[in-house]
Amino acid sequence: MKKTYNPTPETWSELLKRPTQTIADVEATVNDIFSEVKSKGDAAVKKYTQLFDGISLVEILVSKEEIAASEKAVSEELKTAINLAKANIEKFHSAQKTERVMVETTEGVNCWQEKRPIQKVGLYIPGGSAPLFSTVLMLAIPANIAGCKEIVLCTPPDKKSKINPAILYTANLCGVTKIFKIGGIQAIGAMTFGTESVPPVYKIFGPGNQFVTVAKQIATKHGVAIDMPAGPSELLVFADYTANISFVASDLLSQAEHGADSQVVLVTTSKKLLNSVEKEVEKQLKKLPRKAIAEKAIVNSKLILVKNNTEAMKLINAYAPEHFIVISKEEDFFIENIQNAGSVFIGNYTPESAGDYASGTNHTLPTNGYAKQYSGVNLDSFMKSMTFQKISEKGIQNIGKTIELMAEAEGLQAHKNAVTLRLKSLKKFSDRAQSRP
């Protein structure tokens, strides 16, 4: 890990740079694949699965038999763990439901807001060396609570054209309607345009590597919404003398093992702690099964010493971490002043792993500094807010003149006429009523 002592704000931008490619580096590849998926459908999906993954797919859709077999392949112990996590995630996301908001803004003018589910959503679940069945929980559960009618899931198969049984079991448990053996750019393209097998969706969710992240962003040019630009995982830990050194090291490594392009950062006011964590990381790293991957991520990671908590807080907000762990005697200071983070973990006994799996919060979070303007996935991510209004005769009389004046000032005569005609109609009706004996 690279050590930096008391960096000045002018150097933060370079110091905190992520080890990721830009959209420009990947865009041409994505556009070429998208174009072929759009025109050739399943054939293009199979072609690129063979090219990138070395897998010859016969069927893209996961069969009912494969789903049934997955239930037998998952141990009862793991099923129990998945169901406990599911209950906590359901509890937290169900609590996010909101009622209709209704207001009479002026007498006779009633406005209200209601939420409706996005009808068709696509879930991207990373596979490969770390099949993230936990991400199925994080995406399919709120999609179901929201009431999404069509929940499509794409995940890359293994070399035998199989999907990890835990992914299939969890997807079926959480109400996914269709599961496809597709990964990478071709999966995002299939959900964007639709193919003979894969239905097009209105919004795509889920993390992925740099190619998937860019593909999702380019999908927005084709009329499909996305949850956020969620790329390689990252973690920033602030720790002071109250922190348990082994805990801090384990948290840093928990994210480093995600992938070679992951990044972890330690910020501290204690040089002694910084050096101790560095040694502990090296010690724990030697014992990890995914040591080779974590080592590559550690090369891109930082140990940063700052002068005080205020300086630390400014740097952390500038970085805008996906995951932020704070272990400090002054934890309230950090809780109150953190502005940019995907999810915050507080204290020695709150590992980031808890949020990844079973505490109840969502682990699909903005990366690469996007926590400055994006939220992590939540129930509202799967819903749209719609506004309604109903205006009575009294209501249009109360606000009609205001509308007429504003429309006329903008030069929009038809807008004005839409009100004027109604007001004249009401006046004629009123005049006739008054003239009757």
Task: Please identify every residue annotated as catalytic.
Answer: 322-323
Residue in the block written with tokens 């995630």:
89
For 239, phi then psi, to 5°, come to -140, 140
Rounded Cα gap, residues 253 and 240, in angstroms: 18
Q: Is 186 annotated as a binding residue?
A: yes
State how far the alpha carbon of 81 is from the alpha carbons of 66, 67, 87, 166, in Å.
22, 19, 10, 11
For 160, phi then psi, to 5°, come to -100, 15
Q: Is 25 annotated as a binding residue?
A: no
Element (H, E) at 418: helix 413-435
Element (H, E) at 119: none
For 255, phi then psi, to 5°, come to -90, -35
Rounded Cα gap, residues 247 and 277, in angstroms: 9
Rounded Cα gap, residues 87 and 401, in angstroms: 54
Q: Is 415 annotated as a binding residue?
A: yes
Residue in the block written with tokens 């807001």:
113
**CA 215, 225, 368: angle at the middle one, nearest 5?**
55
Strand-pair category, 203-205 with 109-117: unpaired
Rounded Cα gap, residues 59 and 67, in angstroms: 14
Q: Is 363 annotated as a binding residue?
A: no
- At 167, which amino acid appears? I
Token pair, residue 6, equals: 């008391």
Name the residue among 96, 99, 100 with its Cα closest to residue 388. 100
Residue in the block written with tokens 């002592």:
5
Q: Is 107 annotated as a binding residue?
A: no
Strand-pair category, 323-327 with 234-239: parallel
Rounded Cα gap, residues 353 and 369, in angstroms: 21
Contacts of residue 432, defined as CB under 8 A and 6 or more positions apart, other chains included, come to none
Q: Is 93 annotated as a binding residue?
A: no
Q: Contact 111/385 with Cβ under 8 angstroms?
A: no
Residue in the block written with tokens 């099923």:
79
State how far the alpha carbon of 116 is from the alpha carbons of 99, 112, 146, 148, 413, in Å.
12, 13, 8, 9, 34
Rounded Cα gap, residues 349 and 235, in angstroms: 16
Point out the annotated binding site for substrate. Answer: 233, 255, 258, 323, 356, 410, 415
Binding-site residues, in ranges, read 124, 186, 209, 233, 255, 258, 323, 356, 410, 415
- Binding site for NAD(+): what residues are annotated? 124, 186, 209
